[in-house]
Amino acid sequence: MITNEIKEKIRAVVGPENALDSNLDLFGYSYDSSFIPLLPANKPDFVVRPLTTAEVAEVMKIAYANDIPVTPRGAASGRTGGSVPLAGGIALSLDRMTNVIELDEPNMMITVEPGVRTIDLYNLCAEKGLFYPPDPASWKFSTIGGNVAENAGGMRAVKYGVTTNYVMGLEVVLADGTILNTGGKALKNVTGYNLTSLFTGSEGTLGIITKIILRLIPMPKVRNTLQLMFPSLDEACSTIHKMLQSGVVPAAAELMDKIGLQAVARTRKLDIDPNTEACVVIEIDADDEAGLDKQAQQIDVIAHEFNVTEVRIAKSFQESEDIWAIRRGLSSAVGAMAPTRFGEDISVPRSEFPEMVRRIRKISEKHNLVIAVYGHAGDGNLHPSVLCDLTVPGEEERVHKAVDEIFAEALAVGGTLSGEHGIGITKRAYITDALGEAGVNALKAVKRAFDPKGLLNPGKIW
């Protein structure tokens, strides 16, 4: 509960039109893109939409003085419940903070507010020949603030890394309203603890990110796409490993299993050989066409060492798009196979990718559930999709068991619970298995140091 007096104070800070408390609006800010049930709704008591860092700081001071929980939110496109206001209180929506503060070309850095959409940021940099590589699947609608808070990954991670590899500095409003600046534009910086890294991926539990300095790289001049078909998953993975060891680093290497591939084939009316067990879509980039051709040839040679049945090298932009359409259409094609889909986000050492898929197959047979597997084979990040119909008696229990076992196996092969979606609400039950008691205690100690009252995004991570 937030009293009317407190609401008035907050309205005075952000303006009455940016502080919402109708039942309908509270409902609108109760969900994200995770499979946490829509109902009963996790409604906040107040939706607050500040425009400036100063407003965020004022709102936090009021919240801190009155012990009101605060859950930050960008586009609510997260997959694990990070922006769901589990304890009510304030849903702090940062989507109005959309200023690009500076594009510093000589230093190749950009400073932005958290509400800027990742694609807008990418396009702005691209106009200047600069490249911001992280491309989570949601990059056309998610905000950079959310990407930083969740340390989002994407398809280009195999060559270019994930969000944290580009975050140089942050402005963060702490629980009590203090404004903290971390890092900066100096490329070499060992002054004090690396708080920038700590806040990146902190899922809104340590502070409110209000400004972000990102490092950029030169935009690759040319790109092309390849599609490889394999009779086995192992051979597909071996091809990718051999490529990386040989110094042929693709900008993306996406693998999909037979279930996913056939699902796309059905929705897109493609004819795909039923003996194909795995399809790999590879993006390569280079300075010139000769560089592209060389990489394509090297990939072709390596793939043939591992019994590739088809190598398709796009000959036009349109053909590139056609190949990518297979990968882009995958998630919804798989989703359409059943009423409910539990999409997971485990990450394993690259070499364990085929073993992990084999273990998922066993789990699938054991619990009689269809599980499609696809993911970023180049970096070991897999997205098993458990397909189910929760109206079938007993199915929900089997799904939960299967998901538990997938997590257990991921940890057993040396992997972890989440590659790029975060822990949020949906994976917190497994956090001790992944980090151990000592690990979780260390996280809690950090949390206490920054947020002694436990007001920031309560109920997340553990």
Q: Residue 40, interface with other proteins (CB under 8 A)?
A: yes
C-alpha to C-alpha distance for 23 and 420, rounded to whole angstroms:
33
Q: Residue 25, interface with other proteins (CB under 8 A)?
A: yes
* Least distance to other proteins, CB of residue 332, Å: 4
Find the binder of other proteins among 9, 13, 14, 32 (CB under 8 A): 32
Q: Which of 42, 46, 36, 44 is nearest to 8 (CA)?
A: 46
Closer to other proteins by Cβ: residue 169 or 343: 343
C-alpha to C-alpha distance for 82 and 197, rounded to whole angstroms:
18
Q: Residue 138, interface with other proteins (CB under 8 A)?
A: yes
What mask of x and - would describe binding to other proteins in positions 309 to 338, judged by CB under 8 A? --------------------x-xx--xx--
C-alpha to C-alpha distance for 32 and 424, rounded to whole angstroms:
11
Q: Residue 279, interface with other proteins (CB under 8 A)?
A: no
Q: How many CB atoms lie within 10 A of CB 419?
A: 25
Q: Is 203 helix (H, G, I), strand (E, B) or coil?
A: coil
Q: What is the DSSP letter of 46?
A: E
Q: Residue 339, interface with other proteins (CB under 8 A)?
A: yes
Q: How many CB atoms lie within 10 A of CB 17?
A: 8
C-alpha to C-alpha distance for 38 and 29, rounded to whole angstroms:
11
* Least distance to other proteins, CB of residue 25, Å: 6
Q: Scan residues 108-137 and list those touching other proteins (CB under 8 A).
A: 117
The H or E element spanning position 171 is: strand 167-173
Q: Residue 385, interface with other proteins (CB under 8 A)?
A: no
* Least distance to other proteins, CB of residue 259, Å: 18
Stretch that binds other proteins, among 20-28, 249-257, 353-361, 381-389 (CB under 8 A): 20-28
State yes or no: cis peptide before 40, omega within 30 of 0: yes
* Least distance to other proteins, CB of residue 282, Å: 22
Q: Residue 80, interface with other proteins (CB under 8 A)?
A: no
Q: Is 287 helix (H, G, I), strand (E, B) or coil?
A: coil
* Least distance to other proteins, CB of residue 245, Å: 35
> Where does residue 275 rank: exposed (0-12), middle (13-18), buried (19+ CB within 10 A)?
exposed
| β 278-286/252-257 pair status | antiparallel
* Least distance to other proteins, CB of residue 141, Å: 4
Stretch that binds other proteins, among 27-35, 187-195, 308-316, 351-359 (CB under 8 A): 27-35
How many amino acids of this chain bind other proteins (CB under 8 A)? 33
With a CB cutoff of 8 Å and minimum separation 6, the contacts of 213 are: 109, 110, 111, 167, 168, 169, 170, 183, 184, 185
* Site residues for other proteins per CB under 8 A: 20, 22-25, 27-29, 31-33, 35, 38-41, 75-77, 95-96, 117, 138, 140-142, 329, 331-332, 335-336, 339, 341
